[in-house]
Structure 1
Amino acid sequence: MVRAASIRGDSHNWEGTCRQDAMLVSRIGPPDAEMLLLAVADGVGSAAYSHVGSYQVPRAAAVHLDRDATSLFSALCAGDSAELGALANKAIAGAVAELRSNWEKSAARAHRDYSDADYATTLHVLLVPTDAAVRERVVFGVGDGGLFLHHAGQWLLGDTPETSADGILDTKTEALPHAYRSVRTRLIRTVPSDVLLVGTDGITNPLTQKDPEFARILSDAWCSGEIPSMSDFLWQAQTRAVSYDDDRTVICLWEETA
């Protein structure tokens, strides 16, 4: 079961500016390799057309991932992280190249200069086989935000910033289409009753920084064994977190038995 919501943050409401987050829930692949695709994107606040980037990047990525869905499914079932990473990088690079061409043409028609940075957005994609007997899942990520897993009564961080060879945490925000080195790939295995949460930093930052009250409220709402209605989920997704007023996009998946 899936619930999803994308909410304009208080700061954007106050300023009268548009929501820069976006999301996508879809299915990719043929019947024997079908996967649920859950994606969130967070446009970089200073980028003029980041709302366009956050809307279009997940959709273009889904098209390119669908082209390699059979290979992705096989690699996922085999637990082959290297192959999954290679396929993800190929798909995202293809999506970015296609979008860049379209954006350059749009800029030319509007008689304005084009810059990749104007469309900057993060992206996180979770792929889940629709065959409940397959317990492997994979998340692809560029930039902040990401995946959490609720297991055995607690939120576990499933997607973290990379560390350098000397152990220093890399906090530089990467973004598509230009400012990233590669797509991070994280392979996980779930059990029935787990809850997966993929979100932008409006929701993952309070969880990452361990706001106990915020984490408890979401745990009680979403991980008590009862799946909320769509209206309840939307209301719960707007739970206040002190000092966080950014857009908030969240998709939750409740794992089921085979």
Structure 2
Amino acid sequence: MSQQGDRPATTDDWWGRLYDESARDTGPAEAPDDTIDDRFDSAADTLGAEGAADATTRAGYGQAVDAIGVDDEDDEDDAGDEDDDVDVDVAAAAGSGPVSRPLAWWEARGAYPVIQAPAPAPASPPTIVDTPPAVPPPPPPPPQAPTPAPSPVAPAPLTPRPRAPWEPPPAAFDPSDARPLPGAVDPAPPRLTTPAPAPAPDPRAAAPEVPIPPAPEPAPAAPLTYVGDRPPTYDAEPTALPATEAEALGQLVADTVLDGARYGTYTLRAASMRGDSARYRGEPRRDALLTARFGAGPSALVLVAVATGARATEGAHLSAADACRWIGGAVGRSHSRLGEDIRAGRRGDLKSGLHRLTDRTYGKLRARAAELGREPEDYTASLRCLLLSADPDCRTRVFFGVGGGGLFRLRDGAWQDLEPLLPEPADIRGEPVLGFGSARSEASAEQTPEGDRLTMDLEITKPPGPVVEDPVPPPPEPFRFRASVARPGDTLLLTSVGLAEPLRGEPALGDELAARWASAEPPGLAEYLSDVRLRVKGYADDRTAVGVWEA
């Protein structure tokens, strides 16, 4: 190669020009050997400081070429090509900016990176904005079948460039010192532009919705155990058991009795429990409850009997149990005839027949009192009964009994008192009957309406009547009877005196039970027991209740 950079056409031509005496001599070299350093010094003197910096970079890579073992003596052609490339780089450095050149053989193989002259640093750091340049949209392409989009090529990882021998080691890695690996596609450089001002917030824009945590569910309220302004005095649970003897274990009664059934269109619930006062004093339950079914199928008859022994008498619970047992036996022996009368609606036959059965029961109670050597009024009980047919087509409900208690019906959310009304003895009024000793009867016997006397007064003294030293016994309890037709949704409630009195005396009790039983479904046994034992201050007697829910 000549010092002017002319490339010979052939190798022989190159040697001819170098040693031809007719060629003009350009001047001998300063050093005996023509090396890269000599050429660098020549280029630095010619280009100045800026060009020298660029040439320094390229000269460093020339030394790198010597380091990897490119020997000029072994391959003269390769050495000639290397010299030519160096001249091209020096010529490019003399220009105003970086000039692209073809890659050398070692660069094409990926052995060394391509180094360009660094651009001058800007006065202020530019801001990268993703806004694309305004380019007119291209014309729409003709419609064609959709083709799968090529998968995007991920940018190649950046690798640092090798450091020249004369460069000091860098303090930290600079991203500008890296280049993509060979064969990778360089991503497009970001567009430098002035940052756009941030848009002002729109006051009309709705604020972001912040999820509101759900409010905690309120704790379930404690079940109501009493009604009224304050709780009852006695404890709500049993505290003492009744005393008994070893020979009288069969006379014990449980504190609470619970029963139920379902026949035809009605559901039956029955419960009997000791009162608060009896639980506190350790007295037995005076109320007795009997639930029995006679027969089978649609012709079956269900009897529910409730009896309450006389208050403050010994063995009151025994008389109540005897009354229930004897009335149950009497109805059981006549259940076929009673069932036919109920299904046929024969009110007269039912009333007279049940009256006779009730009288026989009380006759047995008086006989039992005589056996025990006690007065009849001490060994007696009030008796209330319900007769229910198991026939689904029969909705006649029959009530009968003697003594205190209650019969109620819940219809359309309101209570109705169905207790049959009985006239008081003082309210009985009527004309005197001839021959019974009234003043008018005596006058009628002595004279006619015209004033004529039929007999004369002989002034005969009448013998005195018998002397009665004992008080006159109270008149017996009248017999009560009622037959009614149930409607769907009705609730019939038969109770003893212990529950009938608070229902009539405390309206809050009836309101609470009506609210609990407003549902069409009847309560379960445990729920029904909880409803019946709802306490009221001032009422501490035994409670017995029989409920019938009509479907």
Q: What is the TM-score with the length of structure 2 in the denominator? A: 0.41
When residues 5 and 53 of structure 1 are mapped into structure 2, their CA distance, relative to the original with a 3 A threshold, is: same
1:11 to 272, 277, 282: 277
Q: Which residue of 2 aligns with 1:126?
A: 386
Contact in 2 for aligned 1:88/1:183 (Cα 8 Å): no
Q: Which residue of 1 aligns with 2:336?
A: 70
Q: Does 1:37 align with 2:321?
A: no
When residues 116 and 95 of structure 1 are mapped into structure 2, their CA distance, relative to the original with a 3 A threshold, is: same
Q: After the TM superposition, which residues 78-93 of structure 1 pair with which residues of structure 2 at under 5 Å, given as runs? A: 78-93=344-359
When residues 220 and 86 of structure 1 are mapped into structure 2, their CA distance, relative to the original with a 3 A threshold, is: same
When residues 166 and 97 of structure 1 are mapped into structure 2, their CA distance, relative to the original with a 3 A threshold, is: closer
Q: Which residue of 1 aligns with 2:493?
A: 197
5+ residue gaps in structure 1? 108-112, 169-177
CA distance in 2, matches of 1:2, 1:164: 34
Contact in 2 for aligned 1:85/1:183 (Cα 8 Å): no
Contact in 1 for aligned 2:298/2:390 (Cα 8 Å): no
1:182 Cα offset (Å) = 4.1
Q: After the TM superposition, which residues 82-231 of structure 1 pair with which residues of structure 2 at under 5 Å, given as runs? A: 82-102=348-368, 104-105=370-371, 107=372, 113-164=373-424, 167=427, 180-209=476-505, 211-231=506-526
When residues 101 and 164 of structure 1 are mapped into structure 2, their CA distance, relative to the original with a 3 A threshold, is: closer
SS of match in other structure, 1:180: coil
Q: Which residue of 1 aligns with 2:546?
A: 251
SS of match in other structure, 1:45: coil
Instruction: Give the structure with the higher percent helix.
Output: 1
When residues 52 and 3 of structure 1 are mapped into structure 2, their CA distance, relative to the original with a 3 A threshold, is: same
Name the amino acid aligned to 1:220.
A
Contact in 2 for aligned 1:12/1:246 (Cα 8 Å): yes
CA distance in 1, matches of 2:332, 2:296: 9
CA distance in 2, matches of 1:205, 1:245: 11
Contact in 2 for aligned 1:11/1:245 (Cα 8 Å): yes
Q: Which protein is bigger by CA-based radius of gyration?
A: 2
Contact in 1 for aligned 2:274/2:541 (Cα 8 Å): yes
Contact in 1 for aligned 2:365/2:379 (Cα 8 Å): no
Contact in 2 for aligned 1:138/1:188 (Cα 8 Å): yes
SS of match in other structure, 1:117: coil
Which string of whole-angstrom CA distances, capped at 9 and with x for unpartnered residues, describes residues 202-223 of structure 1? 11112233x2210011112233
CA distance in 2, matches of 1:183, 1:27: 24
Contact in 1 for aligned 2:491/2:548 (Cα 8 Å): yes
Contact in 1 for aligned 2:420/2:481 (Cα 8 Å): no
SS of match in other structure, 1:118: coil
CA distance in 2, matches of 1:154, 1:51: 34
CA distance in 2, matches of 1:21, 1:164: 27
Contact in 1 for aligned 2:366/2:379 (Cα 8 Å): no
Contact in 2 for aligned 1:42/1:54 (Cα 8 Å): yes
1:234 Cα offset (Å) = 1.2
Quick check: 86-95 or 158-167, which moved more? 158-167
Identical residues among aligned pairs (%): 30
1:179 Cα offset (Å) = 6.5
Quick check: 61-70 or 121-130, which moved more? 61-70
Contact in 2 for aligned 1:149/1:195 (Cα 8 Å): yes
CA distance in 2, matches of 1:37, 1:100: 23
Which string of whole-angstrom CA distances, capped at 9 and with x for unpartnered residues, describes residues 10-60 of structure 1? 111222211101111111246453221111111111222211011121121
Contact in 1 for aligned 2:327/2:361 (Cα 8 Å): yes
Q: Which residue of 2 aligns with 1:172?
A: none
CA distance in 2, matches of 1:34, 1:182: 29
5+ residue gaps in structure 2? 1-266, 429-473
SS of match in other structure, 1:192: coil
When residues 167 and 117 of structure 1 are mapped into structure 2, their CA distance, relative to the original with a 3 A threshold, is: closer
Q: Which residue of 2 aligns with 1:235?
A: 530
Contact in 2 for aligned 1:135/1:189 (Cα 8 Å): yes
1:99 Cα offset (Å) = 4.5
When residues 187 and 166 of structure 1 are mapped into structure 2, their CA distance, relative to the original with a 3 A threshold, is: farther
Name the amino acid aligned to 2:276.
D
CA distance in 2, matches of 1:2, 1:223: 16
1:79 Cα offset (Å) = 3.1
CA distance in 2, matches of 1:152, 1:46: 39
When residues 127 and 66 of structure 1 are mapped into structure 2, their CA distance, relative to the original with a 3 A threshold, is: same
Would you say how many aligned residue pairs link Structure 1 and Structure 2? Answer: 240
1:153 Cα offset (Å) = 1.2
When residues 100 and 23 of structure 1 are mapped into structure 2, their CA distance, relative to the original with a 3 A threshold, is: same
Contact in 2 for aligned 1:12/1:19 (Cα 8 Å): yes
Contact in 1 for aligned 2:272/2:288 (Cα 8 Å): yes
Q: Per chain length, whose mean CA-contact separation is higher, i.e. which structure has more relative contact order (CA < 8 Å, sep 6+)?
A: 1
Contact in 1 for aligned 2:269/2:546 (Cα 8 Å): yes
CA distance in 2, matches of 1:133, 1:29: 17
